[in-house]
Structure 1
Amino acid sequence: MSFGNLTGKVAVVTGAAQGMGKAIALGLAQRGADIAICDIKKDELEIACAELKNATGKKVYMQKVDISNEAQVNQFVSDVERQLGKIDILVNNAAIHPLHAIEEISSDEWDKVFAVNIKAHFFFCKAVIPGMRKRKFGRIISISSEAGKNGGTVAAVHYAATKGAVLSFVRNLAQQVGADGITVNAIAPGRIETAMTATATPEQTQKFLDKSIIKRLGSPADIAYAVCYLASEEASFVTAETMAVNGGTLRD
C-alpha cells in the first residue's frame, strides 16, 4: 500500500484561496483526494481552483462561503456531498488575525474573530459528522496556532484566545466521534510564510528565528505534509492530539 494514499477520498479545505489552505488542498489532491475548497475571496479562489485542477487532474469544487454564516456553511456542505458524493476529510483552516491591542478591539471585531476562527469549526463539524458517522470514517483536522499555547504576539488577544479554544474543541469532539471511526486532531503551526505573517516587522520575525531550532520560517507545504498524514489511513490511531509544526520554537 502506498503511504498516505488518499485515492477515493473527498476533502474539504476552508480558506483555500491562498497560503496554507491552498497548499493543504494541493497536498491532499496530489495524494489522490478530490477537493472542495471555499473562501470569502472569490477571485483568488477561482485562480486556486484552476491551479489545483491543472496541477493534479483531480476534481475540484469551489464556492465562495462566509464561514461565519451557518446557513452558508450548511449549503456548501450539502452542495459538496451532492457534487462529489461524500466528505471524508475536513480541514478547518480559515482564520483572521487583526493586530490590535485590547484597548483598540471593538466588541464587533472580537465577535468576528471568534465567529471565523472557532465558531466556523463548530458549523462545519456539525454539518459533516452525520455523513462520516454513517460511513464509519472521518478525518477532521483543525488548524490552531502556537499562539493557542503560548499566547502569541503582544497584540491580537482575540486571535490567541480562539486558537486556544480550537485545542479544547478538538479534544472534546474527538471523544464524541471516535467510536465511529472519526479522528479529530489539531495542528499548531509556528511562524509560516503567508500573507498573514507578512505583516510582521523584521524585528518580530527575527525574534521568532532566534527561538527556532531550524532557523527558518515554515512554509505552507510544511503544514500540508502534517495535514496529509493526519488525513491518512496510517493515522487512524491518532486522535485528540495537537501536532506542533513550528521548527522547535515551542517545545512542550
Structure 2
Amino acid sequence: MEGLNGMCAIITGSAQGMGKGIALGLARRGVNVALCDLKWAELQETGDQIKTETGVHVLCRKVDISKQEEVENFVKEAETEFGRIDILVNNAGIHPLKPIEQISSEEWDLVFAVNVKSDFFFAKAVLPGMRKRKFGRIICISSEAGKNGGTVAALHYAASKGAVLGFVRNLAQQVGADGITVNAIAPGRIMTAMSGAVSPKENRKFIDMSITKSLGKPEDIAYAVCYLASREASFVTAETMAVNGGTLRD
C-alpha cells in the first residue's frame, strides 16, 4: 500500500512465525521496522533477511516484554533511531498447551503478562509521540480463541486473548480524537510453530471446519496488518478483523 511507505513500526515477537511475516510484509511496503523477541539468533536472521530483501532501516533488540522498563527502553531507542513510531503491532504471545489442572498460578500470570500486559506497556510507551503528531496505528494480535474459546486452546491463552479484545475497544475510545486507531486481528489456525505444537489430527479438525479447507499463512495476517496500519484505514477503529478461513463467522 502506498499509504505505508516511509512509516516506522514496532513489531513484537518478530523472530519467527506471524511476527516475522508481519515484519516482512510491512518492510516490503517501505516501512522501517523495530523488531524485538527473546529468540535472539532467530531475530538477527529475520533482521538480516529484511535488510537484504527490502533495504529499509531495521532495529533488532532482545527484549523481555513482560518487564515495563525493558519495553520503555526499547521504545525510546526505536524513537531515537527512527525519529518516530507510527505503527505498533503487539504480536508476541505464548501458549502453553495444558489443561486447567496443570496450570499453575505462576504460569497463568506469565501468560497474561506476555499476552496482555505487554500490550499495555507498549501502548503506554508509544502514545505520547503518537498523540503529539496526531497520528498512530496500534494493532493487537488476538485469536479466534479470544472470541469462541478456541478448539484446542488452553484456558489461560483463550482468556488472555479475550482480554486483548476488551483492551482494544477501550483504548480506541481514549485515543481516537488524536488521529490514532486501535484494532485487533483474530487469526484462526496459522502455519506457525504454535500450530505445529498440536497434532495433525487437531489441525485436520480446523481444516475441515474452515470454508477454505486450509490453514492460514503468516502472510495472510501480514496483509491484514498492512491494511489496518495504512493511512487509508483512518476510519477503522475498535474493530476485530477475523482472518480464519471462515471457521468463525460473525
The question of a shared fold, defined as TM-score above 0.5 by the shorter chain, is answered with: yes
| Corresponding pairs, count | 250
Contact 2:152 2:202 in 1 (8 A): no
Q: Distance in 1 between matches of 2:94 and 2:175?
A: 28
Shift of 1:8: 1.9
**TM-score (norm. length: structure 1):** 0.98
1:6 CA drift (Å): 1.4
- Find runs of 4+ consecutive structure 1 residues off by over 4 angstroms: none
1:15 aligns to what?
13
What residue in structure 2 maps to residue 238 of structure 1? Answer: 236
Deviation at 1:184, TM superposition (A): 0.1
Alignment match of 1:49 (pick from 47, 50, 61): 47
Give the C-alpha shift of residue 154 in structure 1: 4.5
1:55-70 counterparts in 2 under 5 A? 55-70=53-68
CA contact (8 A) 2:3 2:232 kept: no
1:142-161 CA distance string (max 9 Å, x none): 00000000101345100000
Residue aligning to 1:136: 134
User: CA-to-partner distance for each residue in 1:66-122, whole Å, 9 max, x for gaps?
Assistant: 000000000000000111111000000000000000010011100000000000000
- Tell me the residue number matched to 1:168: 166
Root-mean-square deviation (CA, aligned residues, Å) is 0.8
Runs of 5+ consecutive residues of structure 1 not aligned to the other structure? none
Please tell me whether residue 182 in structure 1 is matched to residue 154 in structure 2: no
TM-score normalised by length of structure 2:
0.99
**1:235 is matched by which residue type in structure 2?**
A
**1:1-252 equivalences in 2 (<5 Å):** 3-154=1-152, 156-252=154-250
Distance 2:7 2:148 in 1: 35
Paired with 1:17 and 1:142, the residues of 2 have a C-alpha distance of: 17
**SS of 2:66's equivalent?**
coil
Change (3 A) 1:56 1:190: same
Distance 2:3 2:123 in 1: 23
CA distances 1:151-207 after superposition (whole Å, capped 9, x unpaired): 013451000000000000000000000000000000000000000110111111111
Separation (CA, whole Å) in 2 of partners of 1:20 and 1:26: 10
Fraction of identical pairs, as percent: 69
**Secondary structure of 2:3 counterpart:** coil
- Does the CA contact (< 8 Å) of 1:15 and 1:95 recur in 2? yes
Alpha-carbon distance in 2 for matches of 1:216, 1:37:
29
SS in 2 for 1:169: helix
Distance, in Å, in 2 between the alignment partners of 1:80 and 1:153 is 37
Gaps of at least 5 residues in structure 2 are none
One-letter identity of the residue aligned with 2:3: N
| Preserved CA contact (<8 Å) 1:194 1:220 | yes
| Paired letter, 1:35 | V
Structure 1 position 5, deviation (Å): 3.2
SS of residue in 2 equivalent to 1:196: helix
